[in-house]
Amino acid sequence: MKKKTIKIILIIIFILLFLYCIGYVVRSNANNSDTFTTESPVMMVVQQKSIATGKINPKEKIDIKPNISGIIKQIHVKEGEEVKIGQLIATIKVVPVVSNVNAAMQSINSAKITLNNQIRQFNRQKLLYNQGVISKQDYETAETDYKMAQQTLKQAQKEYDIAKTGVTSGLEDLASIQIRSTANGLVLDIPVEVGDQVIEANTFNAGTTIASVADVNKMIFEGKVDEADAGKMHEGMSMKIVIGALQDKNINGILTFISPQGKEENGAVKYEIKADIIIPSGVDIRAGYSANAEVILKQTPKTLAIREALVQYDENDKPFVEIEEAKGKFKKVNIQLGLSDGLYVQVLKGLNKNDKIKLWNPTDADKEAKK
């Protein structure tokens, strides 16, 4: 009898505990319904953008190269210095080529032999002319040959000087050992130092760059975009240039070039783009700055929009939201979506701006914003 009583008591306790748990769950659900975070649609312009990463570079950069091989004797400018066309950049000391010097010496010897012979011829013809033996024409011919021989010797001597030193008397300003700027602009880079050997630029060799000069008032953005975005772009589109070192500056650009051929990078096809930068007054933009370019591909007029986080999808992949009917009570509403910027999406049908939409699993930031 005692055991039966204990058993009955345990059954009653179990039933009471079960009823208490059910009541707790019901009360918790009711409380949770009251504490759901809600959010209303907003009126805004929704923009679909493409982001291109790249750098700021001069629109035109000129590499100054020598037209004679040698060794850097002196550099006359510094990086960051403004230069003009014709300004002296560097001086080169020529390293003589033995074969060229030897050939020039042989030319001098030959010219001397010819000159000595013409001197004798001229003196003989002059004597005969004074005696009336030959005509004036024969005399003048001998005189011309004599002067031509003198000139040939002078030319041979100049060629010898050029072969040995790269310059000759009277032509210092035109000497190839003096490397001068071929453009107006700022010296961006001087990749050589005094004592470095340089190679001339010719048909078979690009030559050694002595200095790079560019007009820093004409800068462009050069970057790359995905193939999906490249197909939506066209020349003349406006761009917003965001430079890492100048994030507080509003800088705009105009798209001027889209590569006709993409290149595969890490499994994705990228297309090169270029844009002219509109440099604001008082803003100093340096070559090589890293930057991003924002291109607006599509945009809506001011429209009704909600956060992407509010949208749910049913088993047929159709979008819907839950809006509040009464305190703690929500109903499912199918909606039609439009353009999305990745954070907000345009709502074409199904909502009005006064609706309160349930937010599932709100973040701490969402809860704080609600307060």
Q: What is the second-level CATH architecture of the domain 32-46+302-370?
A: Beta Barrel (2.40)
pLDDT, mean of residues 267-284:
89
Cα dist from 118 to 65, 128, 171, whole Å = 44, 15, 28
Give percent above pLDDT 70 in the chain. Answer: 86
74 sits in which H/E element? strand 70-75
> CA 156, CA 171: separation in Å to the nearest integer?
15
Q: Which tens digit of pLDDT belongs to each residue from 204-253?
A: 888 899 999 998 888 999 999 988 888 888 899 989 999 988 888 889 99
Give percent above pLDDT 90 in the chain. Answer: 29
* pLDDT confidence band for 176 (50 / 70 / 90): low
Q: How high is the pLDDT of residue 174? A: 45
Q: How high is the pLDDT of residue 362? A: 61
| pLDDT over 70 (residue 357) | yes
Cα dist from 160 to 110, 115, 153, 154, 200, whole Å = 13, 17, 11, 10, 19
The reported pTM is: 0.59
Average pLDDT, the chain: 83
* pLDDT confidence band for 96 (50 / 70 / 90): low
Among the listed residues 111, 68, 52, 93, the one whose alpha carbon sits nearest the alpha carbon of residue 237: 52
Cα dist from 113 to 143, 149, 167, whole Å = 17, 9, 25
| pLDDT over 80 (residue 182) | yes
Ranges of each domain in the chain:
32-46+302-370, 50-58+216-299, 61-94+172-214, 98-165
Q: What is the second-level CATH architecture of the domain 61-94+172-214?
A: Beta Barrel (2.40)
Q: How high is the pLDDT of residue 250? A: 84
161 sits in which H/E element? helix 136-165
Q: Which tens digit of pLDDT belongs to each residue from 15-43?
A: 777 777 676 665 655 544 456 788 899 99
- In words, the CATH class of domain 98-165 is mainly alpha
| pLDDT over 90 (residue 304) | yes
Q: How high is the pLDDT of residue 165? A: 65
* pLDDT confidence band for 329 (50 / 70 / 90): confident
Decide the pairing of beta strands 88-93 and 70-75.
Answer: antiparallel
- In words, the CATH class of domain 50-58+216-299 is mainly beta
pLDDT, mean of residues 345-365:
82
pLDDT, mean of residues 187-203:
87
* pLDDT confidence band for 169 (50 / 70 / 90): low
Among the listed residues 73, 76, 80, 40, the one whose alpha carbon sits nearest the alpha carbon of residue 347: 40
Q: How high is the pLDDT of residue 35? A: 60
Q: How high is the pLDDT of residue 102? A: 79
Q: How high is the pLDDT of residue 212? A: 92
How many helices (H) and strands (E) the chain has is answered by: 5, 24
Q: How high is the pLDDT of residue 131? A: 83
| pLDDT over 60 (residue 344) | yes
